[in-house]
Each structure stands twice: as C-alpha cells, then as structure tokens.
Amino acid sequence: MTVAKSNKPIVWGPFAAGGTITAFVTPVLVLLTLFAAMGFVPSLLTYENLHAFAANWLGKLVIFGIILLSLWHAAHRLRVTLHDFGIRADTWVAIAVYFIASLGTIATLFYLLRIS
C-alpha cells in the first residue's frame, strides 16, 4: 500500500507556530509602533537601542524568528482565504504567497546580517 504524500505538514508547522507567536507578540509590537507613529518613540525603537538589539546574535534570532513565522503564517492563511473569496487558481495563489514569504525571509536575513 502506498500512502498518499502530502506537503501539508511542511506548511502547517510554520502556520501553527506562526499563529501562536503572532498571537502573543504582534499586538504589543503594534502598540510600540503606534506610539512611534503618534510622535512618542519608545526607547526600544530609538536607533541606538534597536541597533544594539539587532547587533546581538540573540536579538537577531528573536527578530528573525518573529518575522519568519509571522510571514509564513500569514502567507498560508492568505492562500486559504483567497480560496474562500472564490479564487480557485490555487497553484498560482500558492506560488504568489509563498514567493512573497520567501522574499521577505531572504530580505530579513540579508538586512540582519548587515547590522553589526
């Protein structure tokens, strides 16, 4: 008997992990950038402090983890949501959303490595 192979576990892992991480941290991060948008820049978001945070390897790991998982969570959910909105070209949708997530992942890695 052959078991049908599915790529679902690969996209489901980051989806579930990303959904959990964004549920815990995204609202408070938005609150910080909202303060900055209102003209009150939180100390973490000043150039000196954020640069120091991102220059540290642990800080890099935290930033990369949050962005990576948020991206892949949103990309996978967007794929399903576009189907729910009546767009049936799943292959093209999948290529587009995972392409955006890949691009974002590579860009994040690239920018993080430039900060030292």
Partner 1 sequence: MSRKPYIREMSKTNWFFSQPRYTRYMAREVTCIFILAYTILLIFALKNLADGPEAYAGFLEALNSPLGILFNLAALVGAVYHSTSWFNVTPQAMPIQRGEEFVPGSIIVGAHYGGWALISLIVLFLGV
Smallest separation (angstroms) from partner 1 to the CB of 10: 18
Nearer to partner 1, 5 or 114 (CB): 114
User: Residue 48 corresponds to which tokens in the numbers above?
Assistant: 């000196």
Nearer to partner 1, 4 or 48 (CB): 48
CA-nearest of 96, 102, 99 to 68 is 102
Nearer to partner 1, 3 or 38 (CB): 38
Gap between the Cα atoms of 35 and 18, Å rounded: 25
Nearer to partner 1, 69 or 91 (CB): 69
Burial track 8-22 (b if 16+ CB lie within 10 A, e otherwise): eeebeebbeebbebb
The packing angle between helices 47-55 and 57-84, to 10°, is 90
Q: Using CB under 8 A as the criterion, which residues of the chain lie in contact with partner 1 when the complex forms?
A: 16, 19-20, 22-39, 41-45, 47, 50-51, 54, 63, 66-67, 70-71, 73-75, 77-78, 80-81, 84-86, 100, 104, 107-108, 111-112, 114-115
